Amino acid sequence: MISSLLIFTVALTLLLVSARFFTQSAETIGKWLNLPAFVIGVFIVGVGTSLPELISGILSVRQGVSDILPGNIAGSNISNLLLVTGLAIALNKKPIKIGSDYIYIDLHFLIGGFFMFVLIVYDGVIRFSEAWAGILVFIVYSIYLIKNTGESSDETLVPKKTAFPIKAFLILLAAATGIYFGANYTISSLTDLATALQVPNAIIALTVLSLGTTLPELAVNITAIKRGNAEIAVGNVLGSCVFNTLVIPGAGAAFGDIQVPATLLYFSIPVMVGAGLLFYLLTQDKRISPWEGILFVIIYLVFMLKVAGF
């Protein structure tokens, strides 16, 4: 078990570091292509921080342990909404004002995405014949964001005359390779750990893996807060949850049916939906106080204790 734990730690570290370099190099290439800053922020940074969940989910289906995928989605969303957001707000030490229109769009698609996720998992199986609809909704969400941002933006795009960033491109390829092997060994070692501890794969994914794969969001948010961009931190969490819920089930189901254990259906997924509704209600006054952030963290700790059997 010790060797499996060591492999899991090294593989997860490789996965997270590779995702970080992938995002940074993709952002550099995006700027060279003269993409709008909003598009870079939402689709390159936002999706980049969700790469660990996406790749590990796909590989779990291909390796015959598909129950890891829904556990990781539920756990990552709960960690993002309660732990990562709560810590971000608590560290900010002052209320976060939410005034950007796109954050409210995220909120609505978050609740809609959670509702769709419940619809496709209620029978205990995720099939591509139903999960593809989530990818379609995410495409609609993306088009809506880009269209409305373009109409309201005064940003003028000017063709770049600098040389193509070859270094960034090579880093991108190396990081993509690191993501694949990191995710591959993360899933295999996670399965070994679950077997050794006699714990279902979904529970390990719900706790250890989901907490690990949310580290990119936590790192991005802490950096944003230090720069005085706490609102961006909240937007990043919401965008990541929307991507996790809408895209990952369809991407994983493309490689086979995904099993959803009863423990997720009866407890963890309802907690995920409850966390989304709580976040939605608490943000209706366009501000989140540090005290509400502490509430989020406490709820997350209670959830983890219940999953652990205390």
Q: Residue 216 is part of a domain; what is its CATH number?
A: 1.20.1420.30
How far does CA 228 lie from the centroid of its chain? 22
Compute the distance between CA of residue 147 and CA of residue 165 in angstroms, rounded to an integer. Answer: 28
DSSP at 65: -
pLDDT for position 141? 85
The range of the structural domain enclosing residue 244 comes to: 2-152+162-308
Residue type, 26: A
Burial of 55 (0-12, 13-18, 19+ CB in 10 A): buried
How far does CA 134 lie from the centroid of its chain? 15
Q: How many domains does the chain have?
A: 1
Compute the distance between CA of residue 261 and CA of residue 204 in angstroms, rounded to an integer. Answer: 12
Stated pTM of the model? 0.81
Using DSSP's 3-state secondary structure scheme, residue 100 falls into: coil
Q: What proportion of the chain, given as a percentage, has pLDDT over 70?
A: 85
For 55-59, 226-230, 274-278, which range has the lowest pLDDT when averaged over its residues? Answer: 226-230
Q: Which CA distances in Å does 231 have to 105, 110, 138, 148, 280?
A: 14, 17, 22, 19, 15
Looking at per-residue pLDDT, the higher value among 200 and 62 belongs to 62
pLDDT for position 1? 72
Q: What is the mean pLDDT of the segment spanning 151-160? A: 51
Structure tokens at 188: 């295999």
243 lies in some domain? yes
255 lies in some domain? yes
Q: Are 96 and 108 in contact (CB under 8 A)?
A: no
Q: Which residue has the tokens 């936002």?
A: 46
201 lies in some domain? yes
253 lies in some domain? yes
Using DSSP's 3-state secondary structure scheme, residue 1 falls into: coil
The phi, psi pair for 126, rounded to 5°, reads -105, 120
pLDDT for position 149? 58
29 lies in some domain? yes
Angle at 72 between CA 69 and CA 73, to 5 degrees: 85
Model confidence at 27: pLDDT above 80: no
What are the start-end ranges of the H helices in the chain?
A: 2-32, 37-39, 46-48, 51-62, 68-78, 85-92, 101-121, 128-152, 166-197, 201-204, 210-213, 215-226, 230-246, 248-253, 262-263, 269-282, 290-308
Closest residue by Cα to residue 56 from 46, 34, 71: 71
157 lies in some domain? no
Residue type, 304: M
Q: How many residues does the chain have?
A: 310
pLDDT tens digits for 82-130?
A: 988 888 788 777 777 776 666 777 788 899 999 999 999 999 999 999 9
